[in-house]
Amino acid sequence: MALRILCPAKVNLFLHVLGRRPDGYHDIFSLLCGIGIYDEIRLRPSPEGVRVSCSDPALPADEGNLAAAAARRFGEALGRPVGVEIRLEKRIPVAAGLGGGSSDAAGVLLGLNRLHGQPFGAERLRRIGRSLGADVPFFLFGPPALARGIGDELEACPALPPLHALVVTPAFGVSTRMVYQKFDLELTRAEKRPTRAHFESTVFSPGRHLWNDLETVTLARAPELRRVKDMLLAAGAEGALMSGSGPSLYGLFGERKAALRAARALPRGKGWRFFCAELLSQAAPRIEEEGGSEAAGAPRGRSG
């Protein structure tokens, strides 16, 4: 059996950093939501251990690739090495704050679990995912989620309004570790901190709720991102924000055609990528058997 897996990106609709933990991670409070930009993975059993190939030659094919690391962790949990060929068609920008590597890892875990007869339940898979990265449990969880802890304590968020994101990713990446190291907790704005109770009494509003404590760090190092954010708002976005540690920025629009108009209006830096994608009600990777139709026709976002 061979599997085709569509692995979506994510954005942080808000992100508050609450403090540094003894283990070196940071406690956060964040609202995560999948967006319709997809990497595509093909899994095929192999007698030759874990083999990874990728459409992006800049990505490693060894343990530095989260897809390969996920296959190894799955084998450790299973109690025996797994043999699998992983072909990764990379569409989500790398080191961009969109969670592509974590989504790929979640897709490999779910795919291997299916290939091996579902030996693990959802909670066990999330524990394996947590050992790979803080965002992996979200992609195994699925719906828009309020995240606490390092991002792995998840609670489904009340329904979000239908919105479309125009995502702008520059030609450079950002180190998440560096951004957190530069972050100064004393500079955060306490009045911008929604709580779970807050979302029980109000509907998410881009103009009111978008906030990212890490944005000041990344935008200070790349002032051109500040100009892009201002242009997104000038182009009609209801709100604009950096996702995660960046450097991707996105604007939220009520209609797709408004996002597409904004994309045409924004100037394009060399190597920059633009995507129009909807917010998703379900961010778990979608799996089909090769030749099947379960995930056929899923939207992948548009870049240009």
Residue 182: count of CB within 10 angstroms of its CB: 15
Dihedral, CA of residue 128, residue 130, residue 131 and residue 134, to nearest 10: 150
* Residue 229 annotated in active site: no
Distance (Å, whole) CA 231 – CA 225: 10
Instruction: Yes or no: say if 91 and 39 are a contact pair by the CB < 8 Å rule.
Output: yes
The single residue of 39, 104, 135, 213 carrying the catalytic annotation is 135
Residue with tokens 């708002």: 233
Distance (Å, whole) CA 135 – CA 25: 13
The single residue of 10, 39, 104, 213 carrying the catalytic annotation is 10
- The residue type of 37 is I
Instruction: Yes or no: say if 298 and 38 are a contact pair by the CB < 8 Å rule.
Output: yes
**8 preceded by a cis bond (ω within 30 of 0):** no
Eight-state DSSP code of residue 14: E
* Residue 152 annotated in active site: no
- Residues with catalytic roles: 10, 135
